[in-house]
Structure formats: C-alpha cells, structure tokens
Amino acid sequence: LLVDEAQDYNAFQHAILKKMYPYASFTVLADPRQSVFPGLGLKTEEELLSLYPGCHSTKLECSYRSTGPICALASALTDSKIDYFERGGEIPQVVTGAPAPQLLSDIWDSGELADYQTVGIICSTAVRAEMFFQSLSFPATLLTSPEQVLQSGIVILPAALSKGLEFDAVIADCSDISDPNMLYLLCTRALHRLYLLCEKEIPPVLKRAQQFWHKRGI
C-alpha cells in the first residue's frame, strides 16, 4: 500500500489503514513541513515513525524541483536545512505597497510572465482565490476541486489544492499567511520564478527569512 502526503492523515486514520490492510507492506511518503491543516495530520517526523514501529526510514533530502534561490528561501523559512541542486535563477521577489489584486495586475502588466507556460497564483484559502479570480483583467482558470484537469496558462488555486503540483512561475499571496509550513508549501511549487505578494506590511512568517535577502545584498 502506498500512502502519499501521509502527514495529512492523523494517527487514527493511519490506524484504520493498517487495520484494513493487515497483511500489506506499506510505503509511506510524507513531508511534515507541508502539514498545513490546523488541528489535523502529523507535525513531526517522530510522530509518523511512532505509528510504524520497526519500519525502515529513508530521508529524501535533496530537492530537484526549484532553482537554487527558491530552494534557499524555502530552507530559510523552515527549521531544517534543505539540500538542493544549485540551479541558477532569479531571486524571489517580495512585492508590496498596494492591494494584492493590484500587485498581481502590476506583475502581469510588466510582461515578466510572458515566456512561462504555466503560472500558479496560490492563495491561502478558496475564498481568497475566488476573490483574486473575480478581480482579474486577464484570462485564467480557477481551480476549485482536485478532480479538475490542470490547464496550461494561468491557474488560481488555494494552497490545499497545490500539493504535488508545480508551475514555471508562482505568485504566492502571503498577505494573510501566518503558518511557515504553508508559506514553504507555496514557495516550493515554483520551478523558475517566484513572487511573494504582501498586501500590507510583510508578515512575520516571511520576515523570519530576511537573512536570505541580506546574504544577496537586497
């Protein structure tokens, strides 16, 4: 039995799976840093390992998806070091000083996204994703269900539906995010380019990564 995103299942749900498949071998894949549902799931590696006594544990620690600068920022957001391939790319940009829909329009009007086939605009909640979608002046697809077929072009979606997905460029709405795990999730969806929108002041969850920009003279 293969269990993916295992950090999103709580201890009781893992127990049910083991009860339903008493003779199965289990391959359990999890990243506790992507545990973003308050009150649900598992927050640490130790919690997960305790549910499978005697299991063999292997850490997959080298990230291959994103550019070096994006991985470095994701590492600065967490308490654990992330190893990654040093693939060059643009420094992630923090964009602030206006309402988030206006910041999004400014990025679009700049033409910086013109060469990317897939662009993900990721928000904390479905309500906020809908708000962005209604404010757009350019074509995009609103993703509201995991059953929807992911389209090329611009996709707007809540964080909960972004797990396992990747985009050439990501515009992450950080305006109301306080959970470092959620911000980590949003940042690591980007392959090549990352924008972080902050509607008002930069939230504390992002300020904890200030050394990332300081090291790069920004």
Average pLDDT over residues 203-214: 78
Residues 57-83 pLDDT 10s: 988 777 778 998 998 888 888 766 777
Residues 9-43 pLDDT 10s: 989 999 999 999 999 999 999 888 787 666 677 87
pLDDT category, 3, cuts 50, 70, 90?
very high
Distance separating alpha carbons of residues 159 and 188, to the nearest angstrom: 11
For 181-208, b/e burial (b = at least 16 CB within 10 A) is bbbbbbbbbbbbbbbbbbbeeebebbee
Instruction: List phi, psi (to 5°) of 120.
Output: -105, 125
Sign of CA dihedral 145, 125, 96, 172: negative
Helices (H), the chain: 11-20, 45-50, 68-77, 100-109, 126-135, 180-187, 204-207, 210-214
pLDDT category, 216, cuts 50, 70, 90?
low
Nearest-Å Rg of the Cα atoms of the chain is 18
> Mean pLDDT for the chain?
87
pLDDT category, 218, cuts 50, 70, 90?
low
* Among the listed residues 17, 5, 1, 36, the one whose alpha carbon sits nearest the alpha carbon of residue 182: 36
Beta carbons of 33 and 78 less than 8 angstroms apart? yes
DSSP code at position 99:
-
Instruction: List phi, psi (to 5°) of 154.
Output: -100, 130
Contact residues for 184 (Cβ-Cβ < 8 A; gap 6+): 33, 34, 74, 77, 78
Distance separating alpha carbons of residues 192 and 167, to the nearest angstrom: 8
